[in-house]
């Protein structure tokens, strides 16, 4: 770092920001790199929180992949509990607030904005008092609340996204009675209703009460502040604990105030180099940024650690004078919900309809292993193709071994493969892993038939 | 079936032949269809035999996917223990031999030749007396021999292919002391030596003694015929049971005698419609036929049920007047060997070298799940790319959940994807299924680096 250079400044110390910092460090050993993180932790796995809450492991530190001291060894200065409260693009400096200190100004040559997302608090009286369980420290507080005296037998989870389902399952694992409430008429709206029904059945099979079309009027508390109940229009659910899983939105207030462009999805507008529009040397990455959807051919905002990491690498490469681009996404996701693994990629029927794309779909039921092989169990695969037979998307629900097959579909969607080509693809076969026709081949065959029948 | 039509005749009642028969039946409800099978069973899973031998299930009938009576319900006549001993292409008839009956002639309009493969008996004195465990009835006899008095504590498996390894593991599961001998200097020559070493370590970890570079002089027997020992140049291995796993070859003697063309691989030469060269209305499918290798761009002979089934469908479609083609294969295979799942697709480094293709490769070690997720374990991925970065092949060794990832690589190899595109592919992520970068993405990144470094 030359004496009169301010170097790279990173706002936000999680996946996107720290990937950018680490990548820039590798490319530019002399570059000064500082990162400011509002919370106490860097580079943690928010996706792992439900498993910590469930008690699959007891040390929340295991969620943290890298700590400030490790970054310091690489010559990356990370300041935690330091919130960037203002960005001045003209003067190329930020204002950093730290408890017990006067706000400080920090200059930058390049800036990576990676503030992530923040929970959306639904407009329900009482919801504002519930702390979202989105960070390692919040997860520790919630776990302590479950274990230490403030416990109790009943929980209500509001929002039946994959995260809401994971949290509901975690609380069942803790021996609680759990109701999962959602306004929608299905769980996991990222799936088509027919596939979501399988997931709902699995949740119910685990003992979760799933209450759909539920309009919540109020979250009620005891005088001492503890949760008491969730009042619906026609029912009041006892609730010693209430978990909000009603979605997140990109944390862009600071960027917006600085004059950075917000895109149609509500996240920061970036090009494929993660450059913020019209702001030289300013990049954004992760949950706060838009991503190009390769099938919808428009920017979207998807909050997933895998994109945040990749985009951080791209931003860090470009910030350090290299040349990298993020090729976009196709909406791949996976989760484990009770007895099922659940996954999706590309477009669902519903998403295709919303985008005005005519599609054909087919679903098949098969087995994860050869019929005689111990541990075999159900797998349902649904494929969505355009009228010409090009694979546009897939959804999978099934037992152990089912869901990672989504990556095969992701590769095929990405490449623009047709379902009748997929039908003959040279996929692996052995009895511990599938029947002689992998369920994906069976699904491709059914979809190819459906495409021909619809033609 | 019209009165003066002989219809479709199928030689061989396993995967290829019966897939052809069932497909032809669906397309041509009036077509007469007869199949002749030498053994007592139809449509069985030879791949499942090691699991039956291991005792994972006790009823060998579970290996059979469809029986003659089920085919009869579809109007497909299947005659078992009926061996086709001659094919006369000019008169369009075959000669069928059945025990206790005079040879009978059967006419055909279309013929599907699907005789499978037969064990290669190595030129070792005593090997000729060992029955190959390749059919359901042979497996039952071998299991009875293990269980019923002819048992004993020591077994030698000759041939360290995936099948030899599976059989060795099965005998360990039966509580035996097992030595696996191979002349080669590595197990599983379908893998590169570095990956095979991992598999060998897993086999040894399970208690199998692996003896490589082993030259066998003789298989010795007790006076009553029971196996006694396997004599190597410098050692004699006690052996109450000897299993031969020294490879198979296409069963083409009958076809060759009939004048059908044998290709360079030693199997029947067919075009992409499974038509035998120069023989109108004669098709071949499965282990006895060649398959087009899409990367080597030449015919090969690969014995796997998945190809046999697909080729049978293609042959059956075309025999019934439809139009289908087999697009070829890329060498995908998977197996479970002791604690590891093992898989490969495309070209190994060794295969590429044999084919004169310059390649770059990289191997990485990663985890099957997030580091904090219970059940996480090692996975090693090796990728092979051409000098321009196009993915040509992959190999995977790892614990539960590792191997089916090979299908993602198969889809990418099939599509001609470059490793730097794979590096940014939108693969699924959640803690139960991988770290934030799937091992495939980590491997693609390492390989992309290696390609750039080699350029």
List, as one string, the DSSP characters of B41-102: --SB-GGGHHHHHHTS-S-GGGGBS--HHHHHHTTEEEESSEEEEEEETTTTEEEEEETTS-
pLDDT of residue B147: 86
* Contact state of A429 with B304 under an 8 Å Cβ cutoff: yes
Interchain contact A375–B (C-beta under 8 A): no
* Contact state of A428 with B407 under an 8 Å Cβ cutoff: yes
Nearest CA in chain B to A51: B373
Give A335's contacts in chain B (Cβ within 8 Å): 430, 432
pLDDT of residue B149: 56
Domain-embedded: residue B426 = yes
Q: What DSSP character marks residue A415? A: H
B58, B13 contact by CB (below 8 A)? no
Examine the residue annotation and report whether B47 is marked as an active-site residue of this protein: yes
Question: Do both A168 and A140 map to the same domain?
Answer: yes
Nearest CA in chain A to B412: A411
Phi, psi for residue B81 in degrees, rounded to 5:
50, 40
pLDDT of residue B294: 98
In this prediction, residue B356 has a pLDDT band, given cuts at 50, 70 and 90, of very high
User: Is A194 exposed, middle or buried, given 0-12, 13-18 or 19+ CB atoms closer than 10 A?
Assistant: middle
B234-261 pLDDT, tens per residue?
999 999 999 999 999 999 999 999 999 9
Give the Å distances, CA to CA, from B449 to A355, B362, B414, B420, B443: 38, 9, 22, 9, 10
Question: Do both A393 and A418 map to the same domain?
Answer: yes
Give B347's contacts in chain A (Cβ within 8 Å): none
| pLDDT tops 70 at residue B220 | yes
Give A291's contacts in chain B (Cβ within 8 Å): none
| pLDDT tops 50 at residue A1 | no
pLDDT of residue B151: 56
Helix axes A15-27, A305-319, angle to 10 degrees: 30
pLDDT of residue A3: 45
CATH code: domain of residue B363: 3.50.50.60
* Contact state of A373 with B51 under an 8 Å Cβ cutoff: yes
User: Which residues of chain A from 47 to 76 reach within 8 Å of chain B, CB to CB?
Assistant: 47-48, 51, 56-57, 62-63, 65
* Contact state of B431 with A51 under an 8 Å Cβ cutoff: yes
Compute the distance between CA of residue A348 and CA of residue A291 in angstroms, rounded to an integer.
Answer: 18
pLDDT of residue A4: 55
* Contact state of B427 with A407 under an 8 Å Cβ cutoff: yes
Nearby residues of A162 by Cβ (< 8 Å), 6 or more positions away: A188, A190, A333, A335, A337, A342
Query: Given B212, B246, B280, which residue is the final one in a domain?
Result: B246
Question: Do both B195 and B256 map to the same domain?
Answer: no
Compute the distance between CA of residue B37 and CA of residue B40 in angstroms, rounded to an integer.
Answer: 7
pLDDT of residue A149: 56
In this prediction, residue B152 has a pLDDT band, given cuts at 50, 70 and 90, of low
Domain-embedded: residue A324 = no
List, in sequence order, every residue forming a beta bridge with B94; answer none if it has no partner: B87, B106
Question: Do both B228 and B133 map to the same domain?
Answer: yes
Question: Do both A220 and A163 map to the same domain?
Answer: yes
* Contact state of B410 with A427 under an 8 Å Cβ cutoff: yes
In this prediction, residue B5 has a pLDDT band, given cuts at 50, 70 and 90, of confident
Query: Given A206, A229, A246, which residue is the final one in a domain?
Result: A246
Among the partner-chain residues A307, A425, A428, the one whose CB lies closest to the CB of B334 is: A428
Average pLDDT over residues A53-71: 93
pTM over 0.90: yes
Nearest CA in chain B to A291: B426
Report the C-alpha dihedral over residues B318, A452, A383, B396, rounded to 10 degrees: 30
Average pLDDT over residues B377-404: 97
A276-286 pLDDT, tens per residue?
998 999 999 99
Question: Do both A255 and A241 map to the same domain?
Answer: no
Among the partner-chain residues B305, B307, B334, the one whose CB lies closest to the CB of A433 is: B334
Interface residue of A411, A414, A424, A441 to substitute, partner B, most B CBs within 10 Å: A411
Which tokens sit at A7?
A: 């170097």
What is the tally of structural domains in chain B? 3
Among the partner-chain residues B370, B407, B430, the one whose CB lies closest to the CB of A427 is: B407
Among the partner-chain residues A370, A411, A417, the one whose CB lies closest to the CB of B408 is: A411
Question: Do both B168 and B315 map to the same domain?
Answer: no
Give A426's contacts in chain B (Cβ within 8 Å): 306-307, 328-332, 345, 410, 414
pLDDT averaged over every residue in chain B: 95
Q: How many CB pairs under 8 A join A and B?
A: 193
Average pLDDT over residues A103-116: 97
Interchain contact A305–B (C-beta under 8 A): yes
What 3-state class would DSSP assign to A5? Answer: coil
Query: Given B194, B220, B246, which residue is the final one in a domain?
Result: B246
pLDDT of residue A148: 76
Gap from B438 CA to chain A (nearest CA, Å): 9
State the ipTM, two decimals.
0.96
Question: Do both A103 and A167 map to the same domain?
Answer: no
Question: Do both A19 and A54 map to the same domain?
Answer: yes
Give B334's contacts in chain A (Cβ within 8 Å): 428-430, 433
Among the partner-chain residues B309, B333, B372, the one whose CB lies closest to the CB of A63 is: B372
Residues B64, B68, B69, B70, CA torsion sign: positive
Gap from B149 CA to chain A (nearest CA, Å): 27
* Contact state of A345 with B428 under an 8 Å Cβ cutoff: yes
Domain-embedded: residue B2 = no
Average pLDDT over residues B54-82: 95
| Domain region containing A365 | 333-450
Question: Do both B137 and B111 map to the same domain?
Answer: no
In this prediction, residue B1 has a pLDDT band, given cuts at 50, 70 and 90, of very low
Among the partner-chain residues B51, B326, B425, the one whose CB lies closest to the CB of A411 is: B425
pLDDT averaged over every residue in chain A: 95
Gap from A343 CA to chain B (nearest CA, Å): 8
Gap from B431 CA to chain A (nearest CA, Å): 6
Phi, psi for residue B401 in degrees, rounded to 5:
95, -10
Give B305's contacts in chain A (Cβ within 8 Å): 429, 436
Give A374's contacts in chain B (Cβ within 8 Å): 56-57
Nearest CA in chain A to B371: A62
Domain-embedded: residue B263 = yes
Among the partner-chain residues B15, B45, B335, the one whose CB lies closest to the CB of A370 is: B45
B153-175 pLDDT, tens per residue?
999 999 999 999 999 999 999 99
Domain-embedded: residue B381 = yes
In this prediction, residue B402 has a pLDDT band, given cuts at 50, 70 and 90, of very high
Among the partner-chain residues A47, A341, A440, the one whose CB lies closest to the CB of B431 is: A47
Gap from A308 CA to chain B (nearest CA, Å): 10
B38-50 pLDDT, tens per residue?
999 999 888 999 9
Among B205, B329, B211, B193, which Cα is nearest to B267's?
B329
Above pLDDT 70, what percent of chain A? 98
A3-27 pLDDT, tens per residue?
458 999 999 999 999 999 999 999 9
End-to-end CA distance of chain B: 63
Interchain contact A264–B (C-beta under 8 A): no
Give A433's contacts in chain B (Cβ within 8 Å): 334, 336, 341, 403-404
Nearest CA in chain A to B328: A426
pLDDT of residue B225: 87
Among B333, B336, B350, B335, which Cα is nearest to B193's?
B350
Question: Do both B444 and B364 map to the same domain?
Answer: yes
pLDDT of residue A152: 67
Interface residue of A368, A404, A439 to substitute, partner B, most B CBs within 10 Å: A404
Compute the distance between CA of residue A210 and CA of residue A197 in angstroms, rounded to an integer.
Answer: 11
Among the partner-chain residues A307, A309, A407, the one whose CB lies closest to the CB of B408 is: A407
Domain-embedded: residue A221 = yes
Domain-embedded: residue B327 = no
Report the C-alpha dihedral over residues B371, B373, B376, B382, rounded to 10 degrees: -50
Distance of CA B115 to the CA centre of its chain: 14
Compute the distance between CA of residue A327 and CA of residue A317 in angstroms, rounded to an integer.
Answer: 14
* Contact state of B374 with A438 under an 8 Å Cβ cutoff: no
Residues B256, B261, B263, B269, CA torsion sign: negative
A246-299 pLDDT, tens per residue?
999 999 999 999 999 999 999 999 999 999 998 999 999 999 999 999 999 999
Question: Do both A151 and A240 map to the same domain?
Answer: yes
Interchain contact B310–A (C-beta under 8 A): yes
Interchain contact B374–A (C-beta under 8 A): yes
pLDDT of residue A2: 42
Nearest CA in chain B to A433: B404
Nearest CA in chain A to B445: A310
Gap from A401 CA to chain B (nearest CA, Å): 7
Domain-embedded: residue A347 = yes
């Amino acid at each position: 770092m030359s004496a009169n250079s301010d170097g790279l400044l990173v706002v936000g110390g999680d996946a996107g920001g720290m990937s950018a910092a680490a990548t820039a460090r590798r490319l530019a050993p002399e570059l000064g790199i500082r990162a400011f993180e509002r919370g106490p932790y860097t580079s943690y796995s928010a996706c792992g929180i439900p498993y910590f809450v469930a008690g699959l492991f007891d040390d929340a530190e295991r969620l943290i992949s890298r700590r400030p001291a490790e970054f310091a060894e690489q010559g990356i200065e990370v300041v935690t509990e330091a919130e960037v409260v203002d960005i001045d693009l003209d003067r190329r400096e930020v204002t950093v607030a730290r408890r017990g200190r006067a706000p400080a100004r920090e200059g930058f040559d390049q800036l990576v904005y990676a503030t992530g997302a923040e929970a959306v608090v639904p407009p329900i009286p009482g919801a504002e008092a519930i702390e979202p369980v989105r960070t390692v420290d919040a997860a520790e507080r919630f776990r302590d609340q479950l274990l230490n005296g403030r416990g109790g037998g009943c929980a209500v989870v509001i929002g039946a996204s994959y995260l809401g389902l994971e949290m509901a399952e975690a609380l069942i694992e803790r021996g609680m009675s759990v109701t999962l409430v959602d306004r929608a008429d299905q769980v996991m709206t990222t799936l088509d209703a027919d596939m979501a029904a399988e997931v709902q059945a699995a949740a119910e099979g685990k003992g979760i009460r799933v209450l759909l079309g539920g309009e919540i009027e109020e979250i009620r508390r005891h005088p001492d502040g503890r949760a008491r109940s969730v009042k619906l229009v026609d029912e009041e659910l006892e609730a010693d604990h209430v978990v909000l899983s009603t979605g997140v939105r990109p944390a862009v207030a600071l960027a917006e105030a600085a004059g950075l462009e917000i895109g149609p999805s509500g996240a920061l507008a970036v090009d494929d180099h993660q450059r913020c529009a019209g702001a030289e040397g300013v990049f954004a990455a992760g949950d706060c940024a838009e991503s190009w959807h390769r099938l919808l051919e428009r920017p979207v905002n998807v909050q997933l650690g895998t994109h945040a990491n990749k985009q951080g690498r791209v931003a860090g490469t470009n910030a350090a004078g290299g040349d990298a681009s993020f090729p976009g996404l196709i909406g791949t996701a996976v989760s484990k919900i009770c007895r099922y693994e659940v996954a999706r990629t590309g477009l669902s029927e519903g998403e295709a309809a919303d985008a005005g794309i005519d599609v054909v779909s087919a679903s098949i039921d098969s087995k994860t292993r050869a019929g005689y092989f111990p541990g075999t169990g159900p797998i349902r695969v649904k494929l969505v193709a355009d009228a010409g037979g090009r694979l546009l998307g897939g959804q999978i629900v099934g037992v152990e071994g089912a869901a990672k097959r989504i990556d095969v579909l992701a590769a095929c969607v990405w490449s623009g493969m047709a379902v009748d080509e997929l039908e003959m693809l040279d996929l692996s076969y052995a009895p511990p892993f599938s029947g002689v026709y992998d369920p994906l081949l069976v699904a491709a065959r059914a979809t190819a038939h459906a495409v021909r029948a619809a033609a």
